[in-house]
C-alpha cells in the first residue's frame, strides 16, 4: 500500500481578514519600547483577526485558497481534521460543523481539536489514523486555524509581541505528494519546573483587546521563562528523536535534512540551531547527511500556534537564507507547546517527518 502523502500547503498571507500589528503598535499596547520588542522576539510583523471577523471566516478563506491551488473540489474530501486552539470547545466544534456542511461530509467524519503549538503534528497523527479508511482518490482535509489574539491580554508584554493569527490548509491522501513517514505526539512533564509553577493557565480577568476595549473574559497567561526553557528542551528532544527515527531506515541516509520546528520563539530557534546543528551532524557520520538546515520563519508572522509549521512550509521559497529542500530530502517537523488537558504542569511534544516531493502531487 502506498505511503499516505500530503498534497500542498496554503496559508493566509496577504488576507484582508487579518490586520497588521507592527512593533510600534505592540509597544503602544504593552508599554515596551519598539526596539526592545524586535530585539526580544526577532519578529518584525504579526497579524491579528480583524474586529469584524470571526475565526470561522479564516477557515473558509484558507479552504478557498487550498481548493484553488490544488484544483480539488468539495467532493474530493471524505474526512476533515481541524485544529483551533481555544479554551472554549464550542468554537472549534462549530467551525468543524460549518466546514463539514460546506464540503458535504457527515459529522462522524469530522474531528475538531484544540491542541496548541504541537497541534500540527497531532493533527497529522490523527489524519494518518484515518488514511486507511479513505476511498481511492479521496482526501482528509487538514485545517489549522488560530486566533490567539482573541484570548490574550493585549497589554501582556510576554504574550502580545509573539502570538499571532493565521490559518493553513493541506490534505492527506493515499496518492503522490510529500510522503508522510510518521507523526507521533505525547503529553509529558517537562524537564525544568522544580517549583511546580504553572507554565500556562487560563484565567478570568479584566483584559484589553487589540482594539483598546476592556472587558471581563477568559485569557491565557504564560510563564515566559518556563515556556522558553522547557520549549527549547522539548524541541531539541523532538528533533533528535525525529532524526534518529528517520535515519533508522538506511534508505534515508545520504539525503539532505531540513528541520522546520514549531515557531514558538525566533530567538529559541536561532539558539537551538547554533548549538544543535553541528552536534547532530557530527555525532553520527554514518548517517551521511549532506545538508542539514533549520528554518526560522517567525520574522514575518509570529507564533501562529498550530499553524506555524504548515505556514513555513507554504512560504519556504520566500524565507531568506533557507536552503530549499530538494526532491527526496527529509523534512522534520518537531513541535512542542501547551498541553490543553493540563496546561499548568505538562506540555505536548510531537515528532514528525516527511519525504519532500514538491512536484509529485497532481490532481
The answer to whether residue 279 scores a pLDDT higher than 70 is no
CATH number of 29's domain = 3.40.47.10
Q: Is 360 helix (H, G, I), strand (E, B) or coil?
A: coil
Q: For residue 281, what pLDDT band results from cuts at 50, 70 and 90?
A: low
Residue 27, domain extent: 5-178
- Cell output for 207: 483584559
Q: Are residues 110 and 47 in the same domain?
A: yes
182, burial (CB in 10 Å: exposed 0-12, middle 13-18, buried 19+) = middle
Q: Last residue of a domain, which of 139, 155, 178? A: 178
The total number of structural domains in the chain stands at 2
* CA distance from start to end of the chain: 19
Q: Are residues 173 and 210 in the same domain?
A: no
Q: For residue 285, what pLDDT band results from cuts at 50, 70 and 90?
A: confident
pLDDT in the model for residue 278? 66
Question: What percentage of the chain carries pLDDT values higher than 70?
Answer: 97
Q: Are residues 252 and 301 in the same domain?
A: yes
For cell 531506515, name the residue. 249
Q: Are residues 43 and 126 in the same domain?
A: yes
Residue 362 located in a structural domain: no
Residue 360 located in a structural domain: no
Q: Are residues 264 and 328 in the same domain?
A: yes
Q: Last residue of a domain, which of 178, 199, 229? A: 178
180 in Cβ contact with 245 (< 8 Å): no
Q: Are residues 10 and 115 in the same domain?
A: yes
Q: Are residues 170 and 224 in the same domain?
A: no
For residue 286, how many C-alpha atoms fall within 13 Å in the half-sphere facing its CB? Answer: 5
Say whether pTM exceeds 0.85: yes
Residue 363 located in a structural domain: no
Instruction: State the chain's mean pLDDT as an integer.
Output: 93
pLDDT in the model for residue 341? 94
- Percent helix, strand, coil in the chain, to 5, is 35, 25, 35
Q: Are residues 257 and 332 in the same domain?
A: yes
The answer to whether residue 280 scores a pLDDT higher than 70 is no
Amino acid at each position: 500500500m502506498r505511503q499516505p502523502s500530503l498534497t500542498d500547503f496554503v496559508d493566509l498571507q496577504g488576507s484582508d481578514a487579518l490586520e497588521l500589528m507592527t512593533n510600534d503598535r505592540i509597544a503602544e499596547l504593552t508599554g515596551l519600547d519598539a526596539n526592545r520588542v524586535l530585539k526580544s522576539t526577532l519578529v518584525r510583523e504579526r497579524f491579528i483577526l480583524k474586529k469584524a471577523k470571526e475565526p470561522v471566516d479564516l477557515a473558509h478563506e484558507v479552504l478557498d485558497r487550498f481548493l484553488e491551488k490544488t484544483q480539488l473540489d468539495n467532493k474530493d474530501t471524505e474526512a476533515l481534521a481541524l485544529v483551533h486552539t481555544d479554551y472554549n470547545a464550542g468554537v472549534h466544534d462549530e467551525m468543524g460543523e460549518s466546514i463539514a456542511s460546506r464540503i458535504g461530509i457527515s459529522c462522524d467524519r469530522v474531528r475538531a481539536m484544540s491542541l496548541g503549538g504541537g497541534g500540527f503534528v497531532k493533527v497529522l497523527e490523527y489524519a494518518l489514523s484515518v488514511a486507511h479508511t479513505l476511498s481511492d482518490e479521496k482526501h482528509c482535509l487538514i485545517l489549522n486555524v488560530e486566533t490567539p489574539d482573541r484570548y490574550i491580554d493585549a497589554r501582556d508584554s510576554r504574550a502580545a509581541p509573539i502570538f499571532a493569527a493565521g490559518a493553513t490548509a493541506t490534505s492527506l491522501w493515499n496518492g503522490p505528494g510529500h510522503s508522510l513517514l510518521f507523526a507521533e505526539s505525547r503529553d509529558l512533564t517537562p524537564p525544568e519546573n522544580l517549583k511546580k509553577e504553572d507554565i500556562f493557565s487560563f484565567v478570568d480577568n479584566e483584559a484589553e483587546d487589540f482594539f483598546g476595549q476592556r472587558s471581563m473574559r477568559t485569557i491565557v497567561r504564560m510563564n515566559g521563562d518556563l515556556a522558553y526553557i522547557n520549549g527549547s528542551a522539548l524541541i531539541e528532544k523532538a528533533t533528535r528523536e525525529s532524526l534518529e527515527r528517520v535515519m533508522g531506515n538506511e534508505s534515508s541516509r545520504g539525503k539532505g535534512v531540513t528541520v522546520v520546528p514549531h515557531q514558538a520563539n525566533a530567538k529559541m530557534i536561532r539558539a537551538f540551531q547554533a548549538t544543535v546543528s553541528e552536534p547532530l551532524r557530527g555525532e553520527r557520520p554514518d548517517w551521511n547527511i549532506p545538508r542539514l538546515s533549520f528554518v526560522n520563519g517567525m520574522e514575518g508572522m509570529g507564533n501562529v500556534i498550530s499553524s506555524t509549521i504548515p505556514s513555513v512550509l507554504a512560504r519556504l521559497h520566500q524565507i531568506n537564507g533557507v536552503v530549499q529542500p530538494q526532491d527526496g530530502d527529509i523534512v522534520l517537523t518537531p513541535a512542542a507547546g501547551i498541553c490543553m488537558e493540563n496546561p499548568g504542569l505538562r506540555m505536548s511534544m510531537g515528532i514528525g517527518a516527511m519525504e519532500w516531493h514538491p512536484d509529485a502531487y497532481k490532481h
